[in-house]
Amino acid sequence: MRRPFARSWTGALATAAVAAALPLASPASAVADSVVIGGSPVRIAESPWVVALASRDRFGGTRSGQFCGAVVVGPTTVLTAAHCVSEGVLGVPLSRVSDLKVIVGRGDLGTAEGKEIPVREARVNPEYDAETNSGDFAALTLAEPLPQSYVIGMAGSGDTAYTAGTEATVYGWGDTTGSGSYARTLHAAPVRVLPDTVCERAYPGSADGTYSATTMLCAGELDGRRDACQGDSGGPLVAEGRLIGLVSWGSGCGRPGRPGVYTRISDVVRVLGDSA
């Protein structure tokens, strides 16, 4: 039985944040060899739906407080990874983070360009399983609407963009080396949608997670090199102009035989549809 998504929101964000800058926390540790891994800088104006999830209280101000990626899917709706708003990442329960913001139109986190919009509400997928990483998404509601031109469409089930071999692009401000060099500017890397069997074999079940083709999407390159990494979580994977995934997990970054695992957007559409 599916639980109604609308009823399980974690509640309006509460007061009193405890100030302490944490290192960018994430479940998987990074070991990698190259640069997002294997990517290059891109202009935010060309991908306005890519936004940063930030809290200066929790992560310090040098990179505008960025700690995860996110993506605009409606004028007031932004998707990110469920694990991004977990206590494990934030260091405190989400209800204790009073300055959670989405940063729009700021490619360079060292600047004040674009706009910071407070998050009014965060709803974690009720089907999220932190053990397997299945259903790793949360829907955030913005305190004020964005123009429709910022919105990217979500690929529903059966969309051709999910076909193995499709060229896709992953975006983020995450680690570009696998050893903790967080990007100041937005990067993007070209990757391919990989057959589910590749991730089923790579991730049959371990501390990192368990691959499930119904809720996850496998992408990268068979020989590694290009991948998302820590700090990219919650950010978009785009193919054929549509959103197909959110950066979720992997084993290290850019390793051969260890592709990136993404939250499958068609499953997000299914869960969100339940609340309509």
Name the minimum Å distance from CB 202 to ligand ARG: 11
CB closer to ligand ARG, 146 vs 198: 198
What is the rounded CA–CA span in Å between residue 128 and residue 137? 7
Contacts to ligand ARG from residues 168-207, by CB under 6 A: 174
Q: Is 233 a catalytic residue?
A: yes
28/100 with CB nearer ligand ARG: 28
Quote the DSSP letter at residue 142.
E
Considering only residues 127, 159, 232, 267, which one is a binding residue for ligand ARG as defined by CB under 6 A? Answer: 232
Between residues 58 and 146, which has the closer beta carbon with respect to ligand ARG?
Answer: 58
| Known active-site residue 136 | yes
Does position 28 bind ligand ARG by CB under 6 A? yes
- Four-residue CA torsion sign, 199, 85, 53, 29: negative
Looking at residues 244 to 273 of the shown chain, list those that interact with ligand ARG (rule: CB under 6 A): 247, 249-250, 253, 260
| Catalytic choice (233, 248, 251, 266) | 233
Q: In a 10 Å sphere around its CB, with 0-12 CB exposed, 13-18 middle and 19+ buried, how is residue 178 labelled?
A: buried
Does 27 interact with ligand ARG (rule: CB under 6 A)?
yes
Cβ neighbors of 61 (< 8 A, separation 6 or more) are none
Nearer to ligand ARG, 146 or 168 (CB): 168
In the bound state with ligand ARG, the residue whose beta carbon lies nearer, of 74 and 250, is 250
Q: Could you tell me the smallest distance in angstroms from the CB atom of residue 197 to ligand ARG?
A: 18
Q: Give the chain's end-to-end CA distance (angstroms, integer).
A: 16
Give the range of 70-78, 92-100, 108-116, 222-230 binding ligand ARG by CB under 6 A: 222-230
Q: Which two tokens stand for residue 144?
A: 């004020």
Task: Tell me, yes or no, if 83 is annotated catalytic.
Answer: yes
Sequence-distant contacts of 249-252: CB under 8 A, at least 24 apart: 249/27, 249/28, 249/83, 249/133, 249/136, 249/208, 249/209, 250/28, 250/208, 250/220, 251/28, 251/202, 251/203, 251/206, 251/208, 252/28, 252/29, 252/30, 252/31, 252/32, 252/178
Q: Which amino acid is at 163?
A: T
* C-alpha 188 chain-centroid distance: 13
Q: What are the residues binding ligand ARG (CB under 6 A)?
A: 26-28, 174, 227-233, 247, 249-250, 253, 260
Catalytic residue numbers? 83, 136, 233
